[in-house]
Structure 1
Amino acid sequence: MSAHTSPAPAPRRGRRPGTNTTRQAILTAARARFAADGFTKTTIRRVAADAGVDASLVMQFFRSKGELFAAVMAVPAEALTRFSAAFEGADDGLGERVVRAFLDVWEVDARTSEPLMAMLRGAIVNDQVNEQLREFLQDRLLVAAIASRDADADADDAMLRAGVVSSMLVGLVVGRGIVGVPTLIGAEREKLIMLVGPAVQSVLVPAPPTTDDKGADRP
């Protein structure tokens, strides 16, 4: 019986070899760097150096530090875009838009709500995760607020307002999803948006100062 040669295997299709490995190396390096330095101090360049790649390659996979953090925490990038989009448009109704978008991300879409709730639960018992979550939420609110509302806004004032809104919204999620406050669990989502929206509105869009009719500008 004569020997015969098996046909060569067909070439593989799809992503070129090494893409998934490189992406995973970046995520591994970022996870360690975020854990060690927190969100604010971590930079794309440091993550790239830890992963042994160029910073431009990190940006090819992840368009910003926020999206990189989201990927590390298994939060889909579109969740960040959806939340930032709430700041677009007129000032009227901004508070309600922000609350609705926040609840959408944290409660409606399972792809985002499950990892976010896991992160929130971890933040309660883990100081490093607590710091990452706090900085991440405030940074996203601050960046969105300044970039899409007022590029000339005072940074310190914007940071304070972002921190207040972050605390309000996270507190609402904790009350509903972790502590389980009966009145919050039983409340309809739209009712909560109507209640909390004006409070968020007053923080993000403060009323302009007024003067009295008797001449407040007089010496």
Structure 2
Amino acid sequence: MSEQPTAPTSRPARGRRPGQNATRQAVLDAARTRFAADGFHATTIRKIAADAGVDAALVMQYFRSKDELFAAVMSISPDALARLAGAFEGPEDSLGERVARAHLSVWESEPKDADALLAMLRGAIANKRATLQLREFIESRLREDAHRRPHDDHDTAVRVALAASMLIGILVGRRVVQVPVLTGEDAESIVRRVGPALQEILVPRTT
């Protein structure tokens, strides 16, 4: 008789909050993997809940919609952001190669960051909000360099948009469409080919 009162009363008080945090993280991890594998449209709350081992209603308690969950998945590590920002440190005449190398490194090396960004990339093909997120994510990093030299705002915006489009196209080819000749190419080989083009776009020639 003495066993029954002790078990129910002690467990909720001790484990409730850590349990909630762990469950939320499990949902985020499952969503990141599912979005990366299936894309935005094919992913459902039910599939994510099943992957996380929880009820779909519980997922909706943490995230009110699939869009909101997708947005939460988009966060990447501070280290990855630092690598993207670090591309703008160094000689101006090698900026294009550094930007290409940093983006390929972040999108393809660290599995957790790569999965999150691949989810963003797949989502951008099917979802307007995701398209905006992806464009703003890449363009905001490319704008890091804008304040360092005299510039025309419109010209800078066009250059940044062109550079972002080029990077997105390369990533779609390698990671989504998986064009064989691109997926089989070494990242540094791509950097050597793309770097000069990005250099021309990002660093205007002065006459």
Superposition TM-score, scaled by structure 2 size:
0.63
Q: 5+ residue gaps in structure 2?
A: 1-20, 26-70
Residue identity matched to 1:136: F
Q: Is the 8 A contact 1:95 1:204 kept in 2?
A: yes
Give, in angstroms, the shift of residue 153 of structure 1.
Answer: 2.1
Which residue of 168, 186, 189 maps to 1:188?
A: 186
Q: Is the 8 A contact 1:71 1:77 kept in 2?
A: no
Give, in angstroms, the shift of residue 115 of structure 1.
Answer: 0.2
Tell me which residue corresponds to 1:4.
none
SS at match of 2:92: coil
Residue identity matched to 1:106: W
- Counting only pairs closer than 5 Å after superposition, residues 1-219 of structure 1 correspond to structure 2 as 73-142=74-143, 144-147=144-147, 149-150=148-149, 152-209=150-207
Give, in angstroms, the shift of residue 140 of structure 1.
Answer: 2.2
Q: Deviations over 1:55-97 (max 9, x none)?
A: xxxxxxxxxxxxxxx9661311322221011011211211111
Give, in angstroms, the shift of residue 122 of structure 1.
Answer: 0.9
Q: Is the 8 A contact 1:95 1:200 kept in 2?
A: yes
SS at match of 1:156: helix
Tell me which residue corresponds to 2:66.
none
Q: Would you say how many aligned residue pairs link Structure 1 and Structure 2?
A: 145
C-alpha separation in 1, matches of 2:102 and 2:159: 18
Structure whose CA Rg is larger: 1
Q: Is the 8 A contact 1:86 1:94 kept in 2?
A: yes
Q: Deviations over 1:122-156 (max 9, x none)?
A: 111111111221122212211x1224x32x32222
Q: Is the 8 A contact 1:79 1:112 kept in 2?
A: yes
How large is the Cα RMSD of the aligned pairs?
2.7
- Measured at CA, do residues 127 and 71 of structure 1 come closer, stay the same or move farther in structure 2, by a change above 3 Å? closer
C-alpha separation in 2, matches of 1:171 and 1:86: 19
Larger RCO, structure (CA 8 Å, separation 6 or more): 2
Give, in angstroms, the shift of residue 206 of structure 1.
Answer: 2.1
Q: Is the 8 A contact 1:138 1:162 kept in 2?
A: yes
C-alpha separation in 2, matches of 1:171 and 1:180: 11
- Measured at CA, do residues 185 and 72 of structure 1 come closer, stay the same or move farther in structure 2, by a change above 3 Å? closer
Superposition TM-score, scaled by structure 1 size:
0.60
User: Which 4+ stretches in 1 moved above 3 angstroms?
Assistant: none
C-alpha separation in 2, matches of 1:139 and 1:90: 21
Q: 5+ residue gaps in structure 1?
A: 1-19, 25-69, 210-219
C-alpha separation in 2, matches of 1:154 and 1:166: 18
Residue identity matched to 1:204: L
